[in-house]
Amino acid sequence: MTFSFWESSISATMSDERAETAKWDPAFTRQITDWVGPLIRRYFRADVRGMDSLPDSDGALVVSNHSGGMLTPDVMVFAPAFYERFGFDRPLYTLAHYGVFIGPLGDLLRRAGVIEATRDNAADALRSGAVVLVFPGGDYDSYRPTLTANKVDFAGRTGYVRTALEADVPIVPVVSIGAQETQMFLARGDSIARRIGLTRARMEILPVSIGFPFGLSVIFPPNLPLPSKIVTQVLEPIDIVARFGDDPDIDEVDQYVRATMQTALDELARKRRFPVLG
């Protein structure tokens, strides 16, 4: 399951859909967190740092790089640390591509705080005082080649900046390292996807990877992730208006956010001694 904010369009019906954030079930989320959280923490030796940087109250847009391909562990690494810090009275919503809600899995995801990535849903969640997690780079970022594993790449998507501005909330950058080592990512296959017309079906990439147990994979079958050590760092909040003024240049803000994240990710990479082992 992979996450992206800017790949989806605004929902047509908003009466019931606008209440999507109300489908979050704290008791169900606690069950998932208590069961899956320890497994993920042990398997990936997850180390989440800097949770105190998140505002204690009010809304915040957490903006993170995305790693690990189809079976990305990003959310299941970050969410247990969030709830350990803030408890289950404060929801964490994760914006996801509409495709992950197809079938019965959709209801379960919504109960766990995963909501369709529309501006209205994001605004509703942020204005309610919740924390919203977004991966602007989406699949494009999570399938970045192994040779560029430590590069922050949002594929030019800047809508997250407008969302934070419209909701009047800070951006909290987060960087993570290790999940891109769970298999070897050879190529995104974006040029191939364009050439054979997959973009008409809203498939922008045709990723090629090598892993365990299937070896070579072109999207399917998805290989199981290796137990790579994952380190996640929460950075200081960015108050857009305070730093850039009342009418900020969106591209300038985006460039600053990505540069801040890249500096932090480079620092994590310098401290990492071995691939997978950490």
Characterize 68-87 residue by residue with b for buried, 16 or more Cβ atoms within 10 angstroms of its Cβ, and e for exposed.
bbbbbbbbbbbbbbbbeebe
Is residue 143 scored above 50 in pLDDT?
yes
Q: How confident is the model over 268-278, as pLDDT tens digits?
A: 999 999 999 99
Nearest Cα neighbor of 143 from 229, 53, 207, 211 is 207
Domains by residue range for the chain, with CATH: 17-182+226-271 (3.40.1130), 183-224 (no CATH)
pTM to 2 decimals?
0.92
Kindly state the average pLDDT of the residues 9-35. 74
Mean pLDDT is lowest, of 3-12, 142-151, 153-162, for 3-12
Is residue 75 scored above 80 in pLDDT?
yes
Query: Nearest 10 degrees: CA dihedral of 150, 51, 272, 208?
Result: -40
What is the SS3 assignment for 176? strand
Residue 277 vs residues 134, 178, 195, 272, 273: alpha-carbon distances, Å: 27, 9, 38, 9, 8
Q: Who wins on pLDDT, 1 or 194?
A: 194
Query: How would you classify the pairing of strands 184-187 and 208-211?
Result: antiparallel
Amino acid of residue 153 = D
**DSSP code of residue 164:** H
Predicted confidence band at 11 (pLDDT cuts at 50, 70, 90)? Answer: very low
Q: How far apart are CA 113 and CA 62, in angstroms?
A: 14
Angle formed by the axes of helices 159-167 and 119-127, nearest 10°: 40
Mean pLDDT estimate for the chain: 92
